[in-house]
Amino acid sequence: MPRLILASTSAYRRELLARLRLPFDVARPEVDETPLPGEWPTYLAERLAVSKARVIAERELGAFVIGSDQVAELGDRALGKPGSRDGAIAQLGAMSGREVRFRTAVCVQRHGDAPRIAMDTTTVRFRPLALAEIERYVDAEQPLDCAGSFKSEGLGITLFEAIDSSDPTALVGLPLIATARLLREAGFVLP
């Protein structure tokens, strides 16, 4: 079986990919994730997913490499990982009572082959949130490394009115439906 590599050190993506019951390795892609001036969230997520996969594919010849990235889009601005308690509280406060789109891109790349790319858009409708409940949530779940400052697979689900998605795994960080399709298209044999 050819080698499969996840170009990410995200524990969330590792857990998701493990659901496919395939042996895989993990590699840290050294990619600058700074948005380009005026770059739309969709393009940012796709560019980063492709860059992550390409960097590892160039180093690991013959391996199938999966790169993924997620960007939260609130109005016309991209929200990244908050990185701090105050950042998470501010993000959740800004999203209170609003719709947020999560653009999750995935790329399957093999050295010498064209990248195979898919994009999932998940729309989350946040219910109106009081500052005290935002603070309680952030303190309880510590979502400081999550785009949008929540963990939908945990207590974060209580912050929503609705989720609209074609792939529920996308919101966690790796759209498995698209990932499996791209792997098959690239010639990787799935169970």
Give the residue numbers marked as catalytic: 69
- At 76, phi and psi to the nearest 5? -110, 15
Cα separations in angstroms, 73 against 19, 40, 103:
27, 9, 7
Distance CA 74, CA 148 (A): 9
Give yes or no for a contact between 116 and 109, defined as CB atoms under 8 angstroms apart.
yes
Phi-psi region of 46 (alpha: psi -120 to 50; beta: other; left: phi over 0): alpha
137-173 burial string, b = 16+ CB within 10 Å, else e? bbeebebeebbbbbbbeeebeebeeeeebebebbbbb
Question: Residue 144 has what DSSP assignment?
Answer: T
